[in-house]
Amino acid sequence: MKKLILVFSLLAPAAILAQEALHTLPPSKSPVVNNDSTVSLTLFAPKASAVSAHGFGNAPVVLERSADGNWSATTPKLLPDLYTYTFDVDGMRIIDPSNVYTARDIASLFSEVIVPGGEADYYSVRDVPHGSVIKDWYDSPSLGQKRRITVYLPAEYSLNPDKRYPVFYLLHGMGGDEDAWNELGRASVILDNLIAEGKAEPMIVVMPNGNAAMKGAPGYSELGMYEPRGEHSVSPQGSFENAFTDIVSYVDSNYRTLPDKAGRAIAGLSMGGGHSWRISMMYPDMFDYVGLFSAAVRWNGNGVDDSPEAVAEVENSLRRQMQNPPQLYWIGIGKDDFLYPINADYRNMLDRLNINYLYEESDGGHTWSNWRHYLVHFTPLLFRR
Amino acid sequence: MKKLILVFSLLAPAAILAQEALHTLPPSKSPVVNNDSTVSLTLFAPKASAVSAHGFGNAPVVLERSADGNWSATTPKLLPDLYTYTFDVDGMRIIDPSNVYTARDIASLFSEVIVPGGEADYYSVRDVPHGSVIKDWYDSPSLGQKRRITVYLPAEYSLNPDKRYPVFYLLHGMGGDEDAWNELGRASVILDNLIAEGKAEPMIVVMPNGNAAMKGAPGYSELGMYEPRGEHSVSPQGSFENAFTDIVSYVDSNYRTLPDKAGRAIAGLSMGGGHSWRISMMYPDMFDYVGLFSAAVRWNGNGVDDSPEAVAEVENSLRRQMQNPPQLYWIGIGKDDFLYPINADYRNMLDRLNINYLYEESDGGHTWSNWRHYLVHFTPLLFRR
């Protein structure tokens, strides 16, 4: 067996590490986050004629070729944030082959990199207690489906078997799914960090799939590994909102919740902001905290209906909700968001009805950058009794 | 507000779907699984001079260019399986930009596609009840860490609040982590399908991180989005095995388990097969089912020590274990696996000691293709009392 020892010593490190095949790492190290908040990118593409990177601001970052076949560039100084980027290689759009950290946004993959500092430090995993993330399936009798759902439990949950926790329902936008807030939105990382700093109460966060026609994210239903397209996520107007109590029933039955208005928050981005807006009106006794992030408020599937009947319906629903108002009604929108006008119009309506709300107007548009910010700002305001 | 309706109608479908940016889908649809078990691949690379696909057998699949800048090819007829593949574009290794389904194997990303039929149908999500997948953190006092762990609960778990379940501990190879078995190994999908067919008992599956030096998979610890390398997963020989009871204690405390030998199985691949081998000897009263998949049996970190002292130690440990033997001792290995010789040698030892085992010799080598097969074959044998 002496021979075997020798063979093993020679082969084992490479071969056991390799498992499926003998992978070699790409020859270039990319991305590198520099101390001056720039990011250096490198791509090995010996025969390419033009390479650029997209995702670091509006202008592409043009890479330059060196003699060894590597293309490289350093971005301008960047604001702290999580950036999603791709390369364009002679018209072919690819993720960074040297970066294993990726996120899917609807039908596209992106490479990810975090420029630290400021609020972006809430997006980085720190040496703090980590909560659990559960990919669960709840029964929705209203929709006649079992549906996939993401549930975050705070780190202390399993240590306090008799304690009950408030629940924050966090809804994604059109084209997203039950994975979106936890991946692109970094929700569990943000919650871990806020809770560890004492800036947020320990809470359960529930991230359902807001497209009533989908059982789960692409790849997690019997549709298999299909090509995601917008039409997969179109569902009849109101169908998710009308089935929402199925989620609340499931969560209150399966987790140690505080099952009352004071123990529930709801917020969402874009379409999910519209859902949060409508659901909080439909069930005025259910949520004490409402967050509208770049919200498609008053959107009926085609646009905003400004007929007198539609306006009266909304105003009556709001008046009914505000007879016993939530403790917090929070609105956030970017100055450049294409939904800015309908949000401005909606705030006028709230002002006219003397309804109180907190308002944050940020730079930028309809972006995950803003939605992560709003999550960091909104969550500390919840459940402070 | 009429104007707003119009703007919204024009912009909303594209803009709300887009969220972070106006993504356009790649112009080519790829991969396409054909009815004859071939896979058609397409890549838009208008200026490339040579494109090939890797992962469909030993030979690369050469793509050919058409006038519109698309490269395409159809693979030979393939056996049913989950395939992981990449493109080589003029020496640059990339995943398929049109395929959002990816898996990370250590430091490399791959695109995924399933050719259905046979056992591969266990790898596809079907319209059956789905279990929950939990990314949890357990306390390991022995290692002085909280460590990330994947736990699968069968679909019926939440419906039977008084029922207790057997536990299958499933261990990955060197370079893998607590995500490997569930992603590359499709463990939760395989379990859902086996249980739905009545071929496996409803059971809890626990997939820990077998590298004692790692708290969690790349990106889930405070090391952040570092570049995974083999050295991150090197830990002192025996450190994981010696700390294993921390996992069992955590699982028995936090889930409704059958906490006895008859209710526990352990299996692993490669390094994890070595772990399963050693742990089942260390704790002969703990596991009634032992599975060694392409296992690094008798590996001491450098190779196999065939000194008389080392052989005697192993034989004594085995004799001790077999005084009250497990119900099942299962060995699987590929004919071309580089660990085949040490497994053959180990089987000789078992024969010499009159130790019973079930043995499966498959085609192929040290691959996830084999490990998924072994999981489909081994799991139905568990907990059949």
Q: What is the pLDDT of residues B308-367, one digit of tens each?
A: 999 999 999 999 999 999 999 999 999 999 999 999 999 999 999 999 999 999 999 999
Q: What are phi and psi of A58, to 5 degrees?
A: -75, -35
pLDDT value of residue B234: 64
- Look at residue B181 and give its three-state secondary structure: helix
Q: How far apart are CA B73 and CA A373, in angstroms?
A: 45
Nearest to A126 by CA among B221, B149, B226: B221
pLDDT value of residue A7: 35
A180 conformational bin, left if phi > 0, alpha if psi -120 to 50, beta if neither: alpha
* Cβ <8 Å between A135 and B134: yes
* A180 and A172 Cβ atoms separated by less than 8 Å: yes
Task: State which residue of chain B sits closest to A296, comparing Cα positions.
Answer: B16
Choose the closest CB to A107 out of B4, B23, B48.
Answer: B23
Task: Report B:186-215 residues touching A (Cβ under 8 A).
Answer: none
Instruction: Determine contact: B295 vs chain A, CB below 8 A.
Output: no
Residue whose tokens read 């399986």 = B81
Provide the mean pLDDT of chain B.
91
Q: How far apart are CA A95 and CA A85, in angstroms?
A: 7
Q: A72: how many CB neighbours lie within 10 A of its CB?
A: 17
**With 60 as the cut, is the pLDDT of residue B207 above it?**
yes
* Cβ <8 Å between A100 and B95: no
Chain B residues in contact with A49 by the CB 8 A cut-off are 47
Task: State which residue of chain A sits closest to B174, comparing Cα positions.
Answer: A17
- What number of C-beta contacts closer than 8 Å exist between A and B? 287
Tens-of-pLDDT digits for all 385 residues of chain A? 333 333 333 334 434 434 433 344 445 689 999 999 999 999 999 999 999 999 999 999 999 999 999 999 999 999 999 999 999 999 999 999 999 999 998 788 999 999 999 999 999 999 999 999 999 999 999 999 999 999 999 999 999 999 999 999 999 998 899 999 999 999 999 999 999 999 999 999 999 999 998 999 999 999 999 888 766 666 778 899 999 999 999 999 999 999 999 999 999 999 999 999 999 999 999 999 999 999 999 988 778 999 999 999 999 999 999 999 999 999 999 999 999 999 999 999 999 999 999 999 999 999 999 999 999 999 999 998 6
Instruction: Determine contact: A254 vs chain B, CB below 8 A.
Output: yes
Q: B50-100, pLDDT tens digit by residue?
A: 999 999 999 999 999 999 999 999 999 999 999 999 999 999 999 999 999
Instruction: Determine contact: B301 vs chain A, CB below 8 A.
Output: no
Chain B residues in contact with A2 by the CB 8 A cut-off are 306
**With 60 as the cut, is the pLDDT of residue B7 above it?**
no
* Cβ <8 Å between A45 and B90: yes
Choose the closest CB to A134 out of B11, B129, B134.
Answer: B134
Q: What is the CA radius of gyration of chain B?
A: 23
pLDDT value of residue A234: 64
Instruction: Determine contact: A44 vs chain B, CB below 8 A.
Output: yes
Nearest to A317 by CA among A356, A354, A290, A278: A278
CA of residue A194 relative to chain centroid, distance = 16
Nearest to B321 by CA among B347, B355, B293, B352: B355
Q: How far apart are CA A62 and CA A153, in angstroms?
A: 43
pLDDT value of residue B311: 95
Q: How far apart are CA A272 and CA A276, in angstroms?
A: 6
pLDDT value of residue A28: 67
* Cβ <8 Å between B19 and A175: yes
Q: B14-39, pLDDT tens digit by residue?
A: 344 344 333 444 456 899 999 999 99
CA of residue B176 relative to chain centroid, distance = 8
Query: Can you read off the two tokens belonging to residue A352?
Result: 């006219």
Nearest to A19 by CA among B81, B107, B377, B49: B107
- Side-chain-side CA neighbours of B81 within 13 Å: the count stands at 18
Chain B residues in contact with A133 by the CB 8 A cut-off are 134-135
Residue whose tokens read 């309804």 = A355
pLDDT value of residue B8: 38
Instruction: Determine contact: B1 vs chain A, CB below 8 A.
Output: yes
Please state the rounded mean pLDDT for residues B272-278: 97
C-alpha distance from B154 to closest chain A C-alpha (Å): 11
Q: How far apart are CA B63 and CA A92, in angstroms?
A: 15
C-alpha distance from B148 to closest chain A C-alpha (Å): 9
Query: Can you read off the two tokens belonging to residue B225?
Result: 């989005």
pLDDT band for position B1 (cuts 50, 70, 90)? very low
pLDDT value of residue B12: 41
DSSP letters along A341-361, please?
Answer: HHHHHHHHHHHHTT---EEEE
Query: Can you read off the two tokens belonging to residue A319?
Result: 């008046």
Nearest to A115 by CA among A336, A369, A370, A294: A369
CA of residue B118 relative to chain centroid, distance = 19
- State the complex-level ipTM: 0.92
Please state the rounded mean pLDDT for residues B231-248: 85
pLDDT value of residue A228: 84
Q: Where are the beta strands (DSSP E) in A243-335?
A: 264-269, 289-293, 328-334
Task: State which residue of chain B sits closest to A47, comparing Cα positions.
Answer: B90
A20 or B141, which is more confident: B141
* A133 and A152 Cβ atoms separated by less than 8 Å: yes
Verify cis geometry, omega within 30 degrees of 0, for the bond prior to A31: yes
Q: How far apart are CA B336 and CA B366, in angstroms?
A: 8
